[in-house]
Amino acid sequence: MPAVDPEESRLARESRAGSTEAFERLIDLHHDRLFAFMMSLTRHRHDAEDLTQQTFIRAWQKIHRFHPERPFLPWLFTIGRRLSLRMLRKNRPLPMAETLVVDPSTPSLDLWQLAEKKLSRDAFSAIWMHYHDGFSLAEIGRVLGKREGTVKVLLHRARTTLAEGMSELRPAVPPPLPSSPPPLPSLWKPETTP
């Protein structure tokens, strides 16, 4: 298990003791990453905003259940993921007008878009948490409610699917060069006299 940030642990303990200021600081620390994760699950800005807010409200209501010796962000992701699944079960239509919040100048944009299209929700979440947020396999397992070995398999299959998908996106391989190069033009031109 990765080391817990001492400041985060202190804030969590103070929040458990009822300090709203400490919990507000935890919100400030984790809001952007939680929102990005909610966007990856819902693919809709409005729903992601609502779920982010609901997640922090639920976290405040259940802060007494949090163990300060563990990282706070995976616990938030677990709450957020469960809330998003509950929302999806209501068969609420999700417009696909917006996609992930990713800087378009990064070369990984195509890969994230491919992941959105090709992977299951669990596989996409696992890839996102592992590569975007740096979660360990154990932390991803806790968020997804799966064993560590299952997460390993899920990540492996997701990487394989993405590799196959990327090969489809790559431009066709140019034809091989001829075995012998064409003759070079002569640098010496015969002198011509008028």
135-164 tens-digit pLDDT = 889 889 888 888 999 999 999 998 888 888
- Residue 99 binned pLDDT confidence (cut-offs 50, 70, 90): very low
Give the domain ranges of the chain.
Answer: 1-101, 104-168
In the predicted structure, residue 5 carries a pLDDT above the cut 90: no
Give the 3-state secondary structure of residue 176.
Answer: coil
Claim: this prediction has a pTM higher than 0.75: no
pLDDT at position 68: 87
CB 142 within 8 A of CB 129: no
For the domain 104-168, what is the CATH code?
A: 1.10.10.10
The values of phi and psi at residue 96, to 5°, are -100, 25
The values of phi and psi at residue 36, to 5°, are -60, -40
Reading the block at residue 129, the tokens are: 């948490």
Is the domain defined by 1-101 classed in CATH 3.40.50.360?
no
